[in-house]
């Protein structure tokens, strides 16, 4: 069964076609990575999945329109722009998103190491700490589908590895379907079951070792780019 | 001091001031969170059209201005969604349009308008019981709304996408917030006047931000700062026979610099070993 079914999805804003007739499925329980160059429509894809943007085509999440299953979706946005001078603690922020917190939510905070940040102000967190808080916020909704928009941005290499292990744990142990936008091809190779390559059109989809060919990388990032250009190890 | 407080007009002024300070200070947090400090200023100026229409039609200008303010708040929220234009540009549009309409309407009324002057610069010492009842009823409704919805409102103002995923109907809550800010602003006109009312939304939260270490503290400190501004300002205005609205704002400004100086002084002291 599919967690997400997308058929002929197009997003056109003004005269600009951001996504052009994109079709793919995301199997339930999979960890799927979305890759593509800047401006290729990755974030727009997420916004369309969530019903935040008008689109043409069909988007079904657990066989229903997104608006009917929002309570089963956790989302970590790419940009989290807010007035950093406002004194809001991590504990308060998490309570705004989920006022009644359970024992399970405390476990989520422990697992994401957010419990040690509880009394810190969100405006004073580092990029990595803020990402952890946003992920905890998403997980506290006990989601069946987790959408992560460049979640490792702003995290150092060591933190990045820990982060991907956490996502892998959430996916494998808790059975949460994860769709993640990422630029880290090496991590995608290691952790993702499936990959979706976007560059306005769907360039490739499938298991990373089959889908990520030299030709696809060239289509996505230009002639000079190959897989070695993105590896860290 | 007690003699002054025994006077009925002063009692009404203190009750109105304390109530409005509470409402405007709490709402000011949401205005600042939305980065729309200009919203209350714009609504206040645009409500001149309502005041003028009320004076011309022989109706209660406060009630007409309240109705117009609510409509304008909803209009700004609707235009923001429909046009995707920047909020401050839309507020500027409504601000100048409402003010211009007010000036044109007032041109039909000849002679000096004492009531108009009291709306422009505020005259809390002239607050009547019927106006106090309007303030109390609407103020209570606003506080109940904020108490029930503040978590949803804060999440919406921090990040609309997260709020959408959390199932919060953004358009509904945004419109409700704008209407609430508009109504509270028009209520505040009686205290500080069209020209100065936004000060009571912006100054307390600005002072509180200098001291607060959590959102809870921000609310408490904002309210305390607003109440101090109003009470000190009222007492000073009666003692020195000066316009109440302007003195309240100057009190707020003085308090801000006192807090800023105290913070700098504490920060400059070397920590004890």
Tens-digit pLDDT profile for residues B133-170 = 999 999 999 999 999 999 999 999 988 899 999 889 99
Residues of A in contact with B217 (CB under 8 A): 87
Mean pLDDT for chain A overall? 84
| Strand pairing class (A31-35; A201-206) | unpaired
CATH value at residue B117: 1.10.3470.10
Place of tokens 């928009």: A149
Distance CA B21, CA B16 (A): 8
Residues of A in contact with B213 (CB under 8 A): 87, 89, 121
Within-domain flag for B261? no
Please determine, for residue A225, whether its predicted confidence score (pLDDT) is greater than 80.
no
CB B231 within 8 A of CB B253: no
| Token pair of A218 as six digits | 């060239």
The mean per-residue pLDDT over the stretch A28-48 comes to: 91
Mean pLDDT is lowest, of A13-17, A55-59, A91-95, B67-71, for A13-17
Residues of A in contact with B35 (CB under 8 A): 83
Tally A–B CB contacts below 8 A.
67
Sign of the dihedral through C-alpha B202, B205, B207, B209? negative
Hey, is the C-beta of A121 within 8 angstroms of any chain B C-beta? yes
Q: Look at A93 and B158 and tell me if their CB atoms are within 8 Å.
A: yes
Number of H helices, E strands in chain B: 13, 0
Given its phi and psi angles, is residue B247 left (phi above 0), alpha (psi -120 to 50 degrees) or beta? alpha
Burial class (CB in 10 A: 0-12, 13-18, 19+), B236: middle
The mean per-residue pLDDT over the stretch B249-268 comes to: 93
Cα B268 → chain centroid: 35
Confidence bin at A209 (pLDDT 50/70/90) = confident
Mean pLDDT is lowest, of A56-60, A182-186, B92-96, B180-184, for A182-186
Residues of B in contact with A96 (CB under 8 A): 151-152, 154-155, 158
Stronger pLDDT, B125 or B252, i.e. the higher one? B252
Within-domain flag for B31? yes
Q: Look at B151 and A95 and tell me if their CB atoms are within 8 Å.
A: yes
Interval A98-148: pLDDT, tens: 766 677 777 888 878 888 898 999 988 888 888 888 888 898 888 999 999
Point out the residue among B164, B167, B215 whose CB comes nearest to the CB of A52: B164
Burial class (CB in 10 A: 0-12, 13-18, 19+), B160: middle
Partners of residue B238 on adjacent β-strands: none
Partners of residue A24 on adjacent β-strands: A6
Distance CA B197, CA B65 (A): 14
Distance CA A81, CA A176 (A): 27
Residues of B in contact with A51 (CB under 8 A): 164
The secondary element (H helix, E strand) that includes residue A74 is strand A73-76
Residues of A in contact with B32 (CB under 8 A): 83, 86
CB B161 within 8 A of CB A77: yes
Confidence bin at A190 (pLDDT 50/70/90) = confident
Within-domain flag for B234? no
Closest CA to B47 of B200, B192, B175: B192
Q: Look at B161 and A77 and tell me if their CB atoms are within 8 Å.
A: yes
Distance CA B35, CA B62 (A): 27
Q: How many domains does chain B have?
A: 1
Residue A100, helix vs strand vs coil = coil
Query: Which strand ranges, in their side-by-side order, compose the sheet holding A31-35?
Result: A73-76, A145-149, A177-181, A31-35, A194-199, A201-206
Within-domain flag for B154? yes
CB B3 within 8 A of CB B200: no
Q: pLDDT > 90: what percent of chain B?
A: 50
The secondary element (H helix, E strand) that includes residue B157 is helix B129-158
Q: Look at A87 and B164 and tell me if their CB atoms are within 8 Å.
A: no
CB A179 within 8 A of CB A145: yes
Q: Look at A75 and B161 and tell me if their CB atoms are within 8 Å.
A: yes
Mean pLDDT for chain B overall? 89
Within-domain flag for B213? no
Q: Which domain holds residue B89?
A: 2-197
Q: Look at A87 and B217 and tell me if their CB atoms are within 8 Å.
A: yes
Interval B4-20: pLDDT, tens: 778 888 889 899 999 99
Within-domain flag for B202? no
Stronger pLDDT, A153 or A13, i.e. the higher one? A13
Q: Which residues contact A210 (CB under 8 A, 6 or more apart)?
A: none
Hey, is the C-beta of A93 within 8 angstroms of any chain B C-beta? yes
Please determine, for residue B47, whether its predicted confidence score (pLDDT) is greater than 80.
yes
- pLDDT confidence of residue B238: 87
Hey, is the C-beta of A73 within 8 angstroms of any chain B C-beta? yes
Q: pLDDT > 70: what percent of chain B?
A: 98
Q: Long-range pairs for A218-226 at CB < 8 Å and ≥24 separation?
A: A220/A35, A220/A36, A220/A37, A220/A40, A221/A37
Confidence bin at B1 (pLDDT 50/70/90) = low
Point out the residue among B165, B209, B217 whose CB comes nearest to the CB of A73: B165
Please determine, for residue A229, whether its predicted confidence score (pLDDT) is greater than 70.
no
Task: Decide: pTM greater than 0.95.
Answer: no
Please determine, for residue A222, whether its predicted confidence score (pLDDT) is greater than 80.
no
Task: Measure A172 CA to nearest chain B CA, in Å.
Answer: 24
Interface residue of A87, A119, A145 to substitute, partner B, most B CBs within 10 Å: A87
Neighbours of B206 (CB within 10 A): 20
Within-domain flag for B166? yes
Closest CA to B63 of B6, B7, B135: B135
Partners of residue A26 on adjacent β-strands: A4
Distance CA A42, CA A61 (A): 17
Phi, psi of A170 (to 5 degrees): -60, -40
Sign of the dihedral through C-alpha B119, B125, B183, B218? positive
| Token pair of A63 as six digits | 């066989």
Within-domain flag for B260? no
| Strand pairing class (A16-27; A2-13) | antiparallel
Task: Measure B156 CA to nearest chain A CA, in Å.
Answer: 10
Q: By CA distance, what is B205's nearest residue in A?
A: A86
């Amino acid at each position: 069964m599919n967690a997400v079914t997308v058929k002929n999805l197009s997003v056109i804003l003004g005269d600009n076609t951001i996504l052009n007739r994109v079709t793919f499925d995301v199997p339930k329980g999979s960890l799927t990575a979305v890759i593509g160059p800047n401006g290729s429509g990755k974030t727009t894809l997420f916004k369309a999945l969530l019903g935040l943007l008008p689109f043409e085509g069909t988007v079904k999440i657990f066989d229903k329109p997104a608006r009917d299953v929002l309570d089963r979706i956790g989302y970590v946005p790419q940009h989290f722009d807010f007035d950093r001078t406002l004194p809001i603690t991590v504990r308060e922020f998490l309570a705004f998103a989920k006022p009644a917190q359970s024992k399970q939510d405390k476990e989520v905070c422990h697992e994401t190491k957010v419990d040690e940040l509880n009394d810190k102000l969100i405006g004073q967190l580092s990029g990595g700490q803020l990402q952890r808080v946003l992920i905890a916020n998403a997980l506290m909704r006990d989601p069946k589908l987790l959408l992560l928009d460049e979640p490792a941005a702003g995290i150092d290499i060591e933190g990045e590895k820990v982060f991907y292990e956490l996502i892998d744990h959430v996916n494998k142990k808790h059975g949460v379907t994860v769709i993640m936008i990422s630029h880290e091809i090496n991590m995608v190779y290691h952790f993702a079951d499936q990959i979706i390559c976007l560059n306005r059109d769907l360039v490739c989809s499938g298991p990373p070792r089959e889908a990520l060919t030299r030709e696809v990388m060239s289509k996505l990032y230009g002639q000079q780019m190959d897989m070695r250009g993105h590896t860290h190890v | 001091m007690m003699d002054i407080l025994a006077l009925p007009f002063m009692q009404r002024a203190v009750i109105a001031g304390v109530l409005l300070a509470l409402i405007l200070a709490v709402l000011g947090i949401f205005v600042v969170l939305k980065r729309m400090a200009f919203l209350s200023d714009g609504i206040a100026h645009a409500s001149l059209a309502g005041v003028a229409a009320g004076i011309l039609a022989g109706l209660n200008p406060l009630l007409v201005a309240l109705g117009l303010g609510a409509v304008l708040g909803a209009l700004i929220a609707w235009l923001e969604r429909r046009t995707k234009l920047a909020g401050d540009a839309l507020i500027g549009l409504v601000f100048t349009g409402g003010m211009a309409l007010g000036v044109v309407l007032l041109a039909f009324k000849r002679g000096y308008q004492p009531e108009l002057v009291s709306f422009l610069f505020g005259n809390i010492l002239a607050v009547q019981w019927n106006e106090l009842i309007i303030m109390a009823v609407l103020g209570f409704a606003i506080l109940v709304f904020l108490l029930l919805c503040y978590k949803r409102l804060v999440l919406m103002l921090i990040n609309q996408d997260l709020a959408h995923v959390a199932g919060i109907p953004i358009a509904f809550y945004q419109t409700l917030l704008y209407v609430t800010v508009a109504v509270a602003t028009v209520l505040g006109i009686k205290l500080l006047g069209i020209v100065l009312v936004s000060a009571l939304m912006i100054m307390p939260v600005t002072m509180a931000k200098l001291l607060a270490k959590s959102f809870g503290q921000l609310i408490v400190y904002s309210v305390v700062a607003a109440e101090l501004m109003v009470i000190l300002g009222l007492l000073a205005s009666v003692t020195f026979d000066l316009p109440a609205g302007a003195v309240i704002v100057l009190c707020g400004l003085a308090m801000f610099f006192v807090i800023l100086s105290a913070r700098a002084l504490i920060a400059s002291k070397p920590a004890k070993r």
